[in-house]
Structure 1
Amino acid sequence: MFGGLVAACSGNYPPLEVVDKVDIEKYLGRWYEIARLPNSFEEGCFCVTAEYSVIDSTTIRVTNSCKEDSTLGELNQANGKAFVVEGSNNAKLRVQFFWPFRGDYWIIELDKENYLYALVGSPSREYLWILCRTSKMDQSIYNMLVEKAKAKGFDVSKLHLTNQECEE
Structure 2
Amino acid sequence: MNLPKKMLLACGIVLVCACVHAGSLPPIKPVEHVDLPRFMGDWYVIATIPTRFEKNAYNAVETYKAQPDGNIYTAFRFNNGSYEGPVKAIHSTAFVKAGSGNAVWGVQVFWPVKAQYIVAYLKEDYSQTIVARDARDYTWVMARTPTISQADYDALMVRVVQLGYSLQDVRKVPQQRPDAQHPEM
Assess same fold via TM > 0.5: yes
1:12 CA drift (Å): 2.7
1:26 partnered with 2:35 = no
After TM superposition, the runs of 4+ consecutive aligned structure 1 residues lying more than 6 A away are none
| Structure of higher RCO (CA pairs closer than 8 Å, 6+ residues apart) | 1
The CA distance in 1 between the partners of 2:50 and 2:31, in whole Å, is: 24
Match of residue 45, structure 1, among 50, 57, 62: 57
* Amino acid in structure 1 at the alignment position of 2:36: I
Q: How does 1:39-78 map to 2 (within 5 A)?
A: 39-56=51-68, 58-78=70-90
Partner of 2:159: 148
Q: Any gaps of 5 or more consecutive residues in structure 1? A: 1-9
Report the TM-score, using the length of structure 1 for normalisation: 0.89
Partner of 2:141: 130
* Amino acid in structure 1 at the alignment position of 2:153: Y
Partner of 1:7: none
1:108 CA drift (Å): 0.5
The CA distance in 2 between the partners of 1:82 and 1:109, in whole Å, is: 18
Report the TM-score, using the length of structure 2 for normalisation: 0.81
Structure with larger Rg: 2
The CA distance in 2 between the partners of 1:93 and 1:38, in whole Å, is: 18
Q: Any gaps of 5 or more consecutive residues in structure 2? A: 1-21, 181-185
What secondary structure does 1:115 align onto? coil
* Amino acid in structure 2 at the alignment position of 1:89: G
How many residues matched?
Answer: 158
The CA distance in 2 between the partners of 1:14 and 1:160, in whole Å, is: 24
The CA distance in 2 between the partners of 1:145 and 1:131, in whole Å, is: 10
1:57 CA drift (Å): 5.5
User: Which structure has greater helix proportion?
Assistant: 2
